[in-house]
Amino acid sequence: MDFDRELDVKGLNCPLPILRTKKALAEMSSGQVLKVMATDPGSVKDFQAFARQTGNELLSHGEKDKVFEFLIKRK
C-alpha cells in the first residue's frame, strides 16, 4: 500500500512511539497515510487504542523480523 510519510520509532518504548506518531500526523493533511515502524511488542495494542481514541484509521498492521509496521490514515 502507498503511504505519504514514513516514521521509524524502532528501539523506542511506550509512550514514545505514540507521541512521535501523534506529532507526525499533526503535520500531515487529512487523508494522508503514515507508515510507522516499531519494535515495542506493546505497540500493537497501543496503536489500536490510539486509532480508536483519535479517530485516525489504522489501515493495517503486521510484523516481520520483530519489526511491527502500521499504516495510519489521518482523519
Show which residues are catalytic: 14
User: Per DSSP, which regions of 1-75 are E strands?
Assistant: 5-8, 33-38, 57-64, 67-73
* Closest alpha carbon to 75 in 60, 57, 62: 57
Output DSSP code: residue 28: S
